[in-house]
Chain A
């Protein structure tokens, strides 16, 4: 089975701190995604990557950056966390040749910014 692992399930940070959210997938997938999930808003795409060192902005990239140095790892970075970034963050991956909607999700990282 495909496994997408988000190393931190729950984080509490203070305003202005730098936050790293790590995601690792074990299926050699080319495509990786970071979503943000908020009640009543569904999932919104922050960034995605279709290859190592490649990245594309999604719908809400402001305040975030990403890093993909290795194929299996896709990191989301909050340079200076703010309270409006309190949310559930979901990482997903997809293999080349799979349908655009066939994603494998991690269990999420719930971030609280105080």
Chain B
């Protein structure tokens, strides 16, 4: 069994300040973890992925995430927010292989103010 919890439904930041979007997971086996971004009226786009290699994962648009097994967390960060980062972000957990289905978090809406 697996589950994922995004701890904040909304996060507000000012442009140029750091971004932290929190994600905790539970999984009976070694998980594979992903972050997706969804801009308004668009589909989801893969930001980054963790697959048991390096624990610090870099993605597109300056985002990165760190896998912490002891804390069962996979938080998404970015040093400096940009207006174009305003979107909804989804944390996803699955098993590393096979036909296991994905479990999506409920999403975190990131608001960026000038």
Contact = CB atoms under 8 A, between A and B. Distances in A.
Prevailing SS type, chain A contact patch:
loop
Interface residues of B, number: 27
Nearest to A94: B102
A50 B101 CA distance: 12
Given A4-B43, A90-B44, A107-B43, A101 B9 contact: no
A61 interface: no
B49 A102 contact: yes
Given A99-B94, A100-B99, A101-B92, 10 more contacts: A40-B9, A40-B106, A58-B101, A99-B96, A100-B100, A100-B101, A100-B102, A102-B34, A107-B41, A108-B43
Chain B interface, DSSP helix/strand/loop, else mixed: loop
What is the interface residue range for chain A against chain B?
20 to 34
Contacts, number: 64
Interface of B: 9, 32-34, 41-46, 49, 51, 90, 92, 94-102, 104-107
Given A99-B49, A100-B32, A102-B46, A42 B90 contact: yes
